[in-house]
Amino acid sequence: MGDIGSVLIVGAGAVGAAVASVLRRGEGVRISVLADTSRADRYAAEGFVLNGERLFFPILPAGAPPPRGESPDLVIVAVKSRNLPRAIADMAPYVGDESLVLSLLNGITSEDELAAAFGREKVPYAMILGIDAVREGNATSFSSSGKIHFGDARNPKGAWSDRVSRIASLFDRCRMGYFVPEDMVRSLWYKFMINVGINQASAVLRATYGAFQRLPEAKAVMEASMREVVELSRALGTGLVDSDVEAWGATLRGLSPDAKTSMLQDVEAGRKTEVEAFAGVVIALGEKAGIPTPVNRLLFDMIRTIEQSY
């Protein structure tokens, strides 16, 4: 199979728009955005403002056959976890026999859902780490576009699969930061641990990254929920260890102190959060494994209360 030339973005929020702005730099790379009727006209008229630059991408209609029957080489999914079932239906006509599907969703369940719809052979594991994109209206700003970590469950050095090599080649051409870990499942759980910690703590405390960089009390709330994920990982054999909680601090220190997590942005905008994909999954896995998760139970109840107060 040849190089990846066409990329379809499903979910043009802060993360999806920021990734599109980076991938457009690749020679011969064609970026398009999937949109339903309510968004298509607005995207076409207003475009996307990315770090002050207005960009326009071709807009493709959700649920419709692809123009000229051409399926994209790569579909990047960046919707909220609660919107994934709808996104799967909207993108289904575009996923061809040779298409690959890369999920940048938070949580640890999206690859299984996408694989059930399109086949495991099309869906490597993936996540994005270190991005600090914030969106207001059609404007997205970010100081770091982060790194996309992706791969098969196992990726031996020097022996990557064809699909992993093709995606890596694309990211090289576009100067998109990426990393292919030898143990991708562990990496996915590492990102899950981070989201369970800082996303939920920031939503409850209404705090930017800066609060977690300099306030011990905020850091303690974040780390308490993360340690419950480590305990679950230990029980389930997905590879996390206690030192992973401290290791996250190195990435945290490099983020803009004024930037906000996606869950804090949701709370401030009065939107539904992803608490079910974070604390909800931790609670369910804890009950199944017989491991107490009181911190995440408390955060779940607090965030659901915040949502009902909008």
Q: What pTM does this model have?
A: 0.88
- The pLDDT of residue 1 is 67
Domain termination site, one of 148, 182, 216 = 182
> Which run of H or E residues covers position 162?
helix 162-174
Q: Tens digit of pLDDT for each residue in 247-284?
A: 998 888 888 899 889 899 899 999 999 999 999 999 99
Other C-beta atoms within 10 Å of 66: how many?
18
Provide the CATH number for the domain around residue 290: 1.10.1040.10
Domain termination site, one of 127, 147, 182 = 182
Range of the domain at 205: 185-308
Angstrom distance (rounded) from CA 160 to CA 168: 10
> What domain count does the chain have?
2
Provide the CATH number for the domain around residue 158: 3.40.50.720
Domain termination site, one of 144, 167, 182 = 182
- The pLDDT of residue 135 is 83
Same domain, yes or no: 111 and 155 = yes
Q: Tens digit of pLDDT for each residue in 163-178?
A: 999 999 999 999 999 9
Positions of E strands within 62-124: 74-77, 100-103
Low-confidence ranges of the chain (pLDDT < 70): 1
Percentage of the chain lying above the pLDDT 70 cut? 100
What's 154's DSSP letter? B
